[in-house]
Copies of this chain bind each other. A is one copy, B any other.
């Protein structure tokens, strides 16, 4: 389907916006009037610029406070419209968005509204322009999409149709299935925006917190399917007002928007084909590749290493299980957990995630269809091919089956005396059974983009965003997982002073965290993060818990499904480890304990393990 985006959705001057939008592969744009007004280029020059970039001007918007007004005001409004038609002719735009009137001067009279909109459509026709009338969620009298359609039908003018905007429909809780009552040829335009569910004034919600389809909580696929069932053949167009997008790179935002439309199309292709023919005007449903199954587990987690991590992994019970034949990468394993240490010499950081799945090549093609940058792999001829893409924050995502393990030769029995200055500590057997989750720190303007990436590319299901207090700010945190919980990720965004924090961590699943902590506390007393006694005074006031938790510094949480026991190592570089034990069907991540952990981490600074 044709894909458009409103210029207000991305940052920059109008020419900058157009370039970013074209580069992301859009077919057309909605010109947001304020972007035009502030632009030194004439409408003719903008038209030429867009044409050079291969962009159609699909809509000019918005025209406000027109209909259902007293006669004297109508005359002024028609004069105002006449000027806009002239601008549109110069721009080469033939569709004008008219928002339902919000002014106190508007009269609650549908017949009057229809009559005046008909008059406007008649004038528009003289300029070759059509008018799309849209119900704003906060319109004074017309604020429901079916009401706008009723007025349009009453007017009965060929040049008057309706514009549907998913935000205005879904933010009011209206059921989009009623869209199927509108003939497709009378839906002149479809604007798509998602949004997180927020309990706030709908105008503020709309103006600051819209996001791309798949980033929020609305069912955009359901709504769009209803629109397509009518035979609607116009563009899918993004119209997003978002405070973060306003400040972020236009190129990046435009690409993110394109990804959201491709993902939407893919969902529609597999789930929302019209059950019956939608009539002679209906286009065929788009053919979209079926998404491969979600990943089935963590194949590995790769950490950059400056030489400090091997000892920590040894202490945690990992053993060196192999080395890469051509790269400075070691495989460390324990239970089902496999960690790769990449001797980059830099500060420890989480740099890559390997995901198991039945069809790695299919998963990579799917990622590529969603505009994920495919990473080149320089490899020796004998090495296994690994497909990888870059996540928004630069983390490399590998799609694996078991073949990759063959790359790793068994570990050399003699440790390198340079990298391990002391004898390797006695391994602690069977502490860890696998990787429970990884937590990634996101740059502030990638948070929604990352959620959409992991949702669309990996098929993970995002949970609600949480806000967790940190001593120096707030941490936004959003967990995502596949259906059986075998792949869990947590995206963190620190709004913490100007410094920010960029800690990442690997949470390792344990069968018995208390036993693990007992051993680690006694043998390596400085490895685990100390937890304040005051935390346990409160914990014991709320729950009956094993008094040993206090002695060991093991934290505790519970939900309606079960219990969660966990403890943390100190931070090494940007990385720390968590040991976690899920009892029963506990689904969370101990978010209530995160503020305690953050405060201790700040207090400890970047103390390395001992």
Q: Which residues of A contact B (CB under 8 A)?
A: 11-13, 16, 33-34, 36-40, 42-43, 79-80, 83-84, 86-87, 198-201, 203-204, 243, 246-248, 469-474, 495-498, 530, 532-535, 537-538, 540-542, 595-596, 598-600, 602-603
User: Is B37 in contact with A603, judged by CB distance below 8 angstroms?
Assistant: no
How far apart are A459's CB and chain B's nearest CB, in angstroms?
Answer: 31
Q: CB < 8 Å: which of B13, B33, B541, B602 contacts A602?
A: B13
Question: What is the bound-complex CA distance between A203 and B200, given in angstroms?
Answer: 10
25 CB < 8 A contacts A-B: A11-B472, A11-B473, A11-B497, A12-B471, A13-B602, A34-B595, A37-B534, A37-B596, A38-B532, A38-B596, A38-B598, A38-B599, A40-B530, A42-B534, A79-B541, A80-B541, A80-B542, A198-B200, A199-B201, A199-B204, A200-B200, A243-B495, A246-B472, A246-B473, A247-B497
How far apart are A103's CB and chain B's nearest CB, in angstroms?
Answer: 13
Q: Which DSSP category, helix, strand, loop or mixed, fits chain A's interface?
A: helix
* A535: B residues at CB distance < 8 A: 37-38
The 7 closest A-B pairs by CB, nearest first: A199-B201, A38-B599, A83-B541, A200-B200, A247-B473, A80-B541, A247-B497
How far apart are A97's CB and chain B's nearest CB, in angstroms?
Answer: 15
User: Is A83 in contact with B11, judged by CB distance below 8 angstroms?
Assistant: no
How far apart are A499's CB and chain B's nearest CB, in angstroms?
Answer: 10
* A469: B residues at CB distance < 8 A: 34, 246
Question: What is the bound-complex CA distance between A12 and B599, given in angstroms?
Answer: 9
* A34: B residues at CB distance < 8 A: 469, 595
Q: CB < 8 Å: which of B84, B201, B246, B537 contacts A541?
A: B84
* A43: B residues at CB distance < 8 A: 534
Question: What is the bound-complex CA distance between A198 and B200, given in angstroms?
Answer: 9
Question: What is the bound-complex CA distance between A534 and B36, given in angstroms?
Answer: 7
User: Is A603 in contact with B246, judged by CB distance below 8 angstroms?
Assistant: no
Which of A37, A79, A598 has the most CB atoms of chain B within a 10 A radius of its CB?
Answer: A37
Question: What is the bound-complex CA distance between A13 and B470, given in angstroms?
Answer: 9
* A80: B residues at CB distance < 8 A: 541-542
Question: What is the bound-complex CA distance between A37 and B469, given in angstroms?
Answer: 13
Closest residue of chain B to A535, judged by CB?
B37
User: Is B538 in contact with A38, judged by CB distance below 8 angstroms?
Assistant: no
Question: What is the bound-complex CA distance between A469 and B242, given in angstroms?
Answer: 11
* A599: B residues at CB distance < 8 A: 13, 38-39
Question: What is the bound-complex CA distance between A532 and B37, given in angstroms?
Answer: 7
Q: CB < 8 Å: which of B13, B42, B200, B540 contacts A533?
A: B42
Question: What is the bound-complex CA distance between A201 and B197, given in angstroms?
Answer: 12
Question: What is the bound-complex CA distance between A247 and B200, given in angstroms?
Answer: 24
User: Is A247 in contact with B37, judged by CB distance below 8 angstroms?
Assistant: no
Question: What is the bound-complex CA distance between A541 and B12, given in angstroms?
Answer: 26
Closest residue of chain B to A539, judged by CB?
B37
How far apart are A329's CB and chain B's nearest CB, in angstroms?
Answer: 34
Closest residue of chain B to A76, judged by CB?
B542
Question: What is the bound-complex CA distance between A248 and B474, given in angstroms?
Answer: 12
Question: What is the bound-complex CA distance between A198 and B535, given in angstroms?
Answer: 35
User: Is A247 in contact with B496, judged by CB distance below 8 angstroms?
Assistant: yes
Which of A11, A204, A537 has the most CB atoms of chain B within a 10 A radius of its CB?
Answer: A537
Question: What is the bound-complex CA distance between A38 and B471, given in angstroms?
Answer: 9
How far apart are A69's CB and chain B's nearest CB, in angstroms?
Answer: 15
How far apart are A17's CB and chain B's nearest CB, in angstroms?
Answer: 9
Q: CB < 8 Å: which of B12, B38, B87, B198 contacts A595?
A: B38
Question: What is the bound-complex CA distance between A268 and B302, given in angstroms?
Answer: 63
User: Is A39 in contact with B534, judged by CB distance below 8 angstroms?
Assistant: yes
User: Is A246 in contact with B474, judged by CB distance below 8 angstroms?
Assistant: yes
* A246: B residues at CB distance < 8 A: 469-470, 472-474
User: Is B497 in contact with A40, judged by CB distance below 8 angstroms?
Assistant: no
Question: With A204-B200, A471-B13, A596-B37 given, is the CB distance from A87 to B537 under 8 Å?
Answer: yes
Question: What is the bound-complex CA distance between A198 and B246, given in angstroms?
Answer: 22
Closest residue of chain B to A495, judged by CB?
B247
* A199: B residues at CB distance < 8 A: 200-201, 203-204
* A247: B residues at CB distance < 8 A: 472-474, 495-498
Closest residue of chain B to A11, judged by CB?
B472
User: Is B40 in contact with A603, judged by CB distance below 8 angstroms?
Assistant: yes
User: Is B532 in contact with A40, judged by CB distance below 8 angstroms?
Assistant: yes
* A537: B residues at CB distance < 8 A: 37, 83, 86-87
Question: What is the bound-complex CA distance between A291 and B315, given in angstroms?
Answer: 67
Question: What is the bound-complex CA distance between A37 and B497, given in angstroms?
Answer: 22
